[in-house]
Chain A
Amino acid sequence: MSAHVAAREGAAPRAEWKPRVVAFFCNWCTYTAADLAGVSRLKHSPHFRIIRVMCSGRVDPQFVMDAFARGADAVLIGGCHPGDCHYMEGNYNCLRRFHLLQRMLGQMGIEKERFRLEWISASEGERVKTVVNSLVEDVVRLGPLALPGRLREWDREIDHLEAAVSERHEEATSHAR
């Protein structure tokens, strides 16, 4: 784990690692549920930050990628239950993108627990608490994702490879001469 933490250059060194979860909540169901969790004083993990969007359908896959690339350890999308979308079907569009994106992230080595889509209705304040807590638990178990550090490593690798390739190319052309 300590190697991971060291690799996680995207974040300034802190005494201890704290998970960072970015949550995109739709205005009508899940954001309202989070408000209800507040009004009901349902204590839960502080290691997540909500970004409010009007609909889960607004969550561009780029937002998710960007959050990971900037150091999020997990991303959560919260939307209305199927059939309950304030905009009729935005949540279905989100679901489709979610499945594609989850597979793609998997190929980049991002565990599927780190990217979740949950349906939470306006009345389910309790569910905000349990979902957030279980997600944070998963992240703690998995450890830091440290993608910014990894991306830099990959960039360095590619630089090396490119350098090697162009060196060989130069050699080859000089031989030909």
Chain B
Amino acid sequence: MFEPAQQNGSPRIGFYVCHCGHNIAGKVDVTAVAQAVARFPGVVLSRDYKYMCSDPGQQMIMDDIREQKLDRVVVASCSPLLHEHTFRTAVARGGLNAFHFQMVNIRENVSWVHDDPADATEKAVDLARAAVRRVRLHRALEQKKVPITPAVLIVGGGIAGIHAALTLASAGKKVYLVEKEPTIGGHMAKFDKTFPTLDCAACILTPKMSAVRSHPNITLWTYSEVTKVEGFVGRYRVTVKRKPRYVIEELCVGCLECIEACVFKEGKFYDEFNQGLGKRKPVYIPFPQATPQLVLIDPEQCIEFKSGKCKKTCAEKCDRDAIDFKQTERIEQIEVGAVIVATGFQTVPSEKVPFYGYGRMPNVFTALEVERLVNASGPTGGQVVTREGKAPKAVGIIHCVGSRDEKTNRWCSRVCCMYSLKLAHLIKEHTGAEVFNFYTDMRTAGKGYEEFFYKVMDDGVHFIRGRVAEVSDWAFTPDEEGKLVIRVEDTLIGRVRRVPVDMVVLATGLEPGPDSQQIRRLFNMSCSSEGFFLERHPKLAPVDTFTDGVYIAGACQSPKDIPDTVAQAGAAAAQVLALIDAGSKELEPNTAYIVEEECSGCKSCIALCPYTAISFDAARKKALLNEALCKGCGTCVASCPSGSIRQNLFQDDEIFSEIEGLLTPVT
């Protein structure tokens, strides 16, 4: 039933079992494994070695191939997802076809998850037997190379997307930067200062924003969303929806006179950029330094859209006729070789922590709101004031809101300690108020961070160690009248304290953005359990994903501060450059193919292929498989009643021999 595997007489299999230091050898009796495998048919050599992936380990394989005339190699070590490529390369350098190799996972699948050494060793031997049986049938395969289109899509125009875009563009690559908001800049654009240096966020960000706008290699599409991604590494076909601004981009010069002329004399609507602390008109620009410097109209609010009876003073005022109430959304199609996803985060919604009274008590603020308050270009011109407009005399900053808590999110959001210190410093500087920080642990790991912590302590900011139980406006004593009372157990003195303040700041943590699940599906990525995008390897491939040609950067991967985000964005850009400059990428040869003589023309495979790689040749009554479109899932192979569809690397006989090997009794 199956094609004979390519065999020249009896196979000569070399087997290697890795100690991985104590990682494997601490649980699996590697010597016993090597001895057991030495007796399997076809195995001519069976060794154990401390670190197979190291240079001497690889050299051993290469030497053995030459000296012992091995024609198949099996390595029992870690997960193939980690080192399959390493060993395939070694096998190829030794002179064999890279696919005359099979890997056995006895670390992640055995030594790390099983307690009993006897069980672990038995399992390792079973898995090795399956691999030895399988590898005998392995065919020599060639890897196809796909060319890489020298263009990149970057999704998300925060500091990560901006930095990656500029890096790639200055290396001469074509960049499409897509941002869903009307301006780039992301969260960083809302900040006044950045820790620990207290340099002005706008002064370091806005020049980069304008560089993006003016760079000839960057196409910037704001107020736009990626709606569809097809293709594969080297050639992704991406559809981008550009929402209508109702302002013609090519004509608008950002003079903002239309805003002035709007029939609304005052701002009336929730100003997203200022977290609702300010009001804006239906025709607006998110903030003065917005990039691109273009206004837009919110059709939900504009009278012309609601009633059609507006005087349209904005359009009258515009001497360039840039306002176009009839504008519709535009669909753009682009082709790129690689993608960087840098879609950022959202702060934990305050509704998740109702006991801190946000929304119920007006002077409970989120940290982002306070970022806007302290910002010179913010709604209060940099004055930190309560909702009544008064300067606070005492301010409490509650750390770990929605972080490190089983009720909300279990992870540490990494940036809140530092931004709380920054806000404490700025609030004190702006108002002279007493500032109390209620912290769980101070986490100030980073260059200059601990020093900054000491500086803020020297400023006279108070630190109380304890998780705040609740914020209430229920006064027990006269000095608590009209104040917000923070109730907390001070764990350093072992007492419950009540601290009356005029303003409470919630240091809300970071969590995956609201549309992260859609984005994940769009680019075929995985998420870690918190919902942040999953990197290919936490240490060795921190910006790669499991989808070739798709990279991640910034807080969409995990909470991180600006320095780490920029570093990661640079890393992602470097990976893309390596991909593009290599010119081509070798694909895993696990595609399917049809043995035509055996195809009965039943067509059952055709409907199963999600990539329409299979078509029907009506004249010859045979199914035809386009290997360029096949992604190698093998679903058609499993469904073919005549067994005429095969899959490279996962042939039926290879899998059957694996099953047989696993279930053959130990003798």
Q: Which residues of A contact B (CB under 8 A)?
A: 10-12, 20, 22, 27-29, 31-32, 34-35, 37-39, 41-44, 46-47, 49-55, 57-63, 66-67, 70-72, 83-84, 86-90, 93-94, 97, 121-124, 129
- Residues in B neighbouring A123, C-beta threshold 8 A: 526-529, 534
Interface pair B524/A72, CB less than 8 Å apart? no
B-chain residues with CB within 8 Å of residue A87 when the two chains form the complex:
610, 631, 633, 635
A43 close to B663 (CB less than 8 A): no
Chain A residues with CB below 8 A from B107, complex form? 38
Distance A51 CA – B524 CA, assembled complex (angstroms): 23
Determine, out of B110-118, B399-407, B463-471, the stretch whose residues face the partner at the interface: B110-118
Contact with A along B45-88 (1 / 0, CB 8 A): 00000000000000000000000000000000001110000000
- Complex A-B, nearest 4 residue pairs according to Cβ-Cβ distance, in ascending order: A38-B108, A58-B634, A57-B635, A87-B633
Are B113 and A42 neighbours in the complex by a CB distance under 8 Å?
yes
A55–B662 touching, CB < 8 Å: no
Q: How far is the CA of A100 from the CA of B534 in the complex (A)?
A: 34
Is B149 interfacial (CB 8 A cutoff)?
A: no
Question: Shortest distance in angstroms between B581's beta carbon and chain A's nearest beta carbon?
Answer: 27
Nearest to A127 among chain B residues (CB) is: B529
Query: Nearest Cβ in chain B — how far from A123, in angstroms?
Result: 4
Best-buried of A12, A22, A57 by chain B (most CB within 10 Å): A57
Q: Using Cβ atoms and an 8 Å threshold, which residues of chain B touch A55?
A: 633-635
Question: What residues of chain A lie closer than 8 Å to B105, measured between beta carbons?
Answer: 35, 50
Number of interface residues of B (CB under 8 A): 53
Q: Are A90 and B113 in contact (CB under 8 A)?
A: no
Q: Are A51 and B652 in contact (CB under 8 A)?
A: no
Are B663 and A32 within 8 A (Cβ)? no
Instruction: Answer whether A70 and B663 are a contact pair too, CB < 8 Å, given A58-B647, A90-B633, A93-B639.
Output: yes
Q: Are A37 and B663 in contact (CB under 8 A)?
A: no
B98, CB-defined interface residue at 8 Å: no
Pair B665/A54 contact, Cβ less than 8 Å: no
Q: Tell me the complex Cα distance, A123–B650, Å.
A: 25
Distance in angstroms from A93 CB to nearest chain B CB is: 5
In the complex, 30 of the A-B residue pairs with CB atoms within 8 angstroms, ordered by the A residue number, are A12-B667, A20-B662, A22-B659, A22-B662, A34-B108, A35-B81, A35-B105, A37-B113, A39-B112, A44-B113, A49-B127, A51-B658, A55-B633, A55-B634, A57-B635, A58-B633, A58-B635, A58-B650, A60-B655, A61-B638, A66-B656, A67-B659, A84-B521, A86-B546, A90-B610, A90-B635, A97-B638, A121-B526, A122-B528, A123-B534
- Report how far A31 CA is from B652 CA in the complex, Å: 19
Nearest neighbor of B660 in chain A, beta-carbon distance: A70
**Which of B110, B114, B633, B647: most chain A Cβ within 10 A?**
B633
Which residues on B sit within 8 Å (CB–CB) of A72?
A: 659, 663
Give the interface centre of A20, A53, A84, A124 by most chain B CB atoms within 10 Å. Answer: A53
Question: Separation in Å of the B534 CB from the closest CB of chain A?
Answer: 6
Instruction: Enumerate chain B residues within 8 angstroms of A12, measured Cβ to Cβ.
Output: 665-667
B119 at the interface (CB under 8 A from A): yes
Given A38-B79, A58-B633, A70-B660, A51 and B655 contact (CB-CB distance below 8 Å): yes
Chain A residues, CB < 8 A from B608: 57, 93
Beyond known contacts A44-B113, A90-B610: 14 more, CB 8 A cutoff: A10-B663, A12-B667, A38-B112, A38-B113, A39-B108, A43-B114, A54-B647, A59-B638, A70-B664, A72-B663, A87-B631, A93-B608, A121-B527, A123-B528
Checking B114, B116, B638, B665 against A60 with a beta-carbon cut-off of 8 angstroms, the contacting residue is: B638
Closest to B662 in A: A49
B521 engages A35 (CB within 8 Å) = no
Is B632 in contact with A54, judged by CB distance below 8 angstroms?
A: yes
**CB neighbours of B534 from chain A (8 A):** 122-123
Instruction: Say yes or no: B665 contacts A86, CB within 8 Å.
Output: no
Cβ proximity bits B520-545 to A, threshold 8 Å, 1 near / 0 not: 01001011110000100000000000
